[in-house]
Structure 1
Amino acid sequence: MPRFHHSTFLLLAVLVYHLSVPSVHGEVGNGGHQDLPALLSFKSYNPNATALATWHGPNPCSSTWFGIRCSRGRVVGVFLDGASLAGEVAPLLRLSHIRALAVRNNSLSGALPPLDDATASPWLRHLLVARNRLTGSLNISLGALLTLRAEHNGFRGGLEALRAPSLRSLNVSGNKLAGEISGDLSRFPRSAFGGNLALCGTPLPRCVRAYNALGSDSSSNATTSIAAQSPGAAVNVSGSVPSSSSNGGFSKLSLTALMATGIGNAVLITVSLAISVAMFVYMRRKLRSAKDASDAALCFEEQEKRANGDDKCQKSGGLVCFEGGEELRLESLLKASAEVLGKGVSGSTYKAVLDDGIVVAVKRLSALQFPASRSKAFDRHMRLVGRLRHRHVVSLRGYCNSNGERLLVYDFLPNGSLQSLLQASGGGARSLDWAGRKSILFGAAQGLNYIHTFPARPALVHANVKPSNILLDERGGACVSECGLMRYATNIQQSVVPQAARCPPDLFLGRAATATSSAAPPAASVGWHGYAAPELASGAGARATQESDVYSFGMVLLEVVTDHKAADGEEGGEGEETMGMVKIGVLCTAEAPEERPTMAQVLAMMSEFM
């Protein structure tokens, strides 16, 4: 009887085990966690990477995994550009529902596995693996692929195995590819294939046949040149001229022939040299104009139309995209779900979630402040701002100027602005200690200095430095936003009033005055325009300068520092640092613009307290 009970117990245990195993796998299949093994396999190459520090837990779609975008419980996007990652990219390509993979500017190595609709995601549309150390061949056959950016790697072989009929943007420059460009790929511009010395065919020079034709003529050219260099020898070979001992008349004739030959050669060399110089000047101007036209990375549609000789994207005011925004589409922006982040004088800002799971911030400019009459100057400025890339400057990924509607597409920073942080810390919601305040101010100063020192003529000016334009990234770092926008606003003078009520420096030096000011409403809440330099209120012709930017930054610095003094008081060394920062702010807010320091000097002074 005990043996019977024991057998029954074992049978029940085995039955429970077999029932539990499929139930667990069913939960994984229905819960959308099939992507976890591939992501953890990729993380195993970089166990200590800062960008992957949040990659833990059973559900990668829990919105806590950095760089992961999901849709309906499945991973559809991985965005890890410039994350200092190593290892192979193959695990990420095993994600069965991925639509966009961006891992540019890393140290990834190994070969790309063969990609087709059976071995990879049939929905993969954007594959961005540029500037890594990838090798092997480009064996890709994906019907949905729209973008392939694989420049500056070590790919070898030909392009015969690259089949993507829907491809709109291609760049495989700076690799070791060889062979002939044929088929549908020949519609892309030369820049898409540059740096591959063994590639040939349209749009590059023709293949080996042109070289062989040149080589076959080399012997005849050499023979001709030899004959030209030695006419006397050629005459002697013919045997038609008598020797020099026959008479003296032949000597004169020979001398005349030699002089004529020399003069002819000199004229020929001069003409050839003039033609070469003219061709050099022409090609140099042509290359320079091409470089100026391509300073800002254009959108996929614009690149395709430029390859066909038709720049309709730019002329029609369509969406123009810059580095990092290649996957943007105007129709996706217009269809995206939007959430209002804020409204101001320049326009409204929205948080937009695109179909691919990409989150961006879209600024819709006010038609009243930015009329179409200044469209050309505004477009030139936007193309310049689109080139700004700095960790403390919010990157402009694209802009649209069409039918009086202007949209600016920026990176979305989830932690709000310095203004919201100051207001929250005043209410006790999010405390901001002294170290955090110094870090934010120093980061904003670095971003502003980068804008001021960017190589541009005329020099770049921010023109609207204030706490609401200093945003905070995922790590709490400060990023300066909306560079130069207000320089192109027509009614900017209405928002800059004479500053008779401007706060004097004594306010920031006295503890009692600070306490009094802390009891008053915040300046931002009552519409105080104290961030603008006093010279901007002198008349309609006043324009923002780098000196006025320094003044505005000084006012922001003083507000942040005094807000800390009023909220937390001074303790030990913090008091000395606070007073040092106040002195920097006072220097920045000097009445005369020429007496203010540059942002480089401000950075040097602030670094003593960091």
Structure 2
Amino acid sequence: MTHFHHCRSSLLLLLFLTCCVHGELANGGHQDLPPLLSFKSYNPTATAMESWVGINPCSGSWIGVRCKKGRVIGVFLDNASLVGSVAPLLDLTHVSVLTIRRNSLSGRLPPLDNSTNPMLRHLLISHNKLSGDLSLSLPSLVTLRAEHNGFHGGLGAVSVPMARSFNVSRNMLGGEINGDLSRFPSSSFGGNVGLCGHPLPRCVRAYSALGDSSSISQSPTAAMDTSSVSSSNGGSLSKLVLTALMATGIGNAVLILISVAISVAMFVYVRRKLRSMKDASDSALTFHEEDKVDEKRQKNGGGGGLVVFEGGEDLRLESLLKASAEVLGKGVSGSTYKAVLEDGVVVAVKRLSALQFAGAAGKAFDRHMRLAGRLRHRHVASLRAYCNSSGERLLVYDFFPNGSLQSLLLRGLDWAARKAIVRGAAEGINYIHTFPARPALVHANVKPSNILLDDRGEACVSECGVMRYAANIQQHCVIPRHPPEMFPDRAASGGGGGGGGWHGYAAPELASGGGARATQESDVYSFGMVLLEVVNGGGKDGDGGGEEEEEAMGMVRIGMMCTAEAPEERPRMAQVLAMMAEFM
């Protein structure tokens, strides 16, 4: 009897738990649990999915999973050493971003269309072992990265009219590239021996040359009839020949006239092009011209080794050295001070580290500083003066009373403020990248502490290009405050700036060593890391609801594009601004 009561109690408890689970599912809280658990079953011991426990993938504890209103909208599992099929993840009907690059996933990719994946915008499945045909009809898909797999067949079933980033290179695809896909560069299709058509070499078709045998061989009677007709119409044939010759002559004359017209047009176009190039070249000062400007400024400016720019004409090195100073911050690159001059003017002085910048005494550093002194933009901190003499390297900027983005993230920012800051920083970096200079300017150290806030709370990018002259750029790999689900492979590999772990804000090509120099592409990577940190950290709960969530997901997508591992896959800052403008 006791045993019976015990069994009945167990059954009641099991029934209660089952009802609870089904109740949760019925309420729409965990509809995405089965596909996620099905995918996890291929990798039960994977480090990246150790946190996938419980019945609520939207609890915030599932690393690599992002949710909105109780539904999974993003899965981020790059470089996670995963195997198995990707199909379960594509059963997530609300997923917008799926990035599972550089794993060992295999099998076929199921057909995808608006009925199966209406919310899918970014599909990144490159560097796996996927195979089969590609069948995608997703009008809203923005990104498809499927390179370095084993897909075969043609591209006739691929329709992605809104895609901006598309790559199916290094597969086993064949056939002709259809008209819509031909807008992408040849690098999007390279490594597929069977593919042809624009932008690759055109396809070669074989045509049958066999015709009706009766049209080739004729009977003797027919030949005689033909001969008689030919002789009777000899006069007409001569007229036809004369007419044809006259038409040919007229045609040749017309062609000559057209050729002359084209040559004249090309001459005018090239002359205008050269003139515009000369105008653009004149707007970028040469090194020789910069040296002349520097000599003039040293004569008219502060003297004593202090080179002054617009807004810093009244600065003197003696006044700076005598000013009362307050330490604002210290780092590997040097120390920053708040200096109050005798006349009450407040400036910020960056004193570069003698250890890191021991080799910055040459003309290259001076030339860069003189270019940086010409930067004038509402979102770029203006360099008012600099000193590079007798081992002393000082940079003088306006003082920003509201501090840096780094300090504000620690205190918390509402969503509107975060949007405005990242937008302003993007405009500042884009201005630096498009400034007319030879060679093109690079910031080289984009991070929250170098994004300052003016008295109106607007972002200003500071210290343009300074770190290009540091002795060891790898020492500046500061660790961002990202949630681990954004980069599970890096979070699992440790926190150092060395190989395999976090690169921090520095792009992988810089953090890996080898003497690589900062580029505009590495600036884009650093901005992407800042963008992800601003979106995911240091925020205050707002009441924007779905609109804020949609904007946040848009920011995440842009951040992921900016932090692509290969530099050539990253967008330019102008493109980043265009994408941000779509939803901000």
Q: TM-score, normalised by structure 2?
A: 0.46
Q: TM-score, normalised by structure 1?
A: 0.44
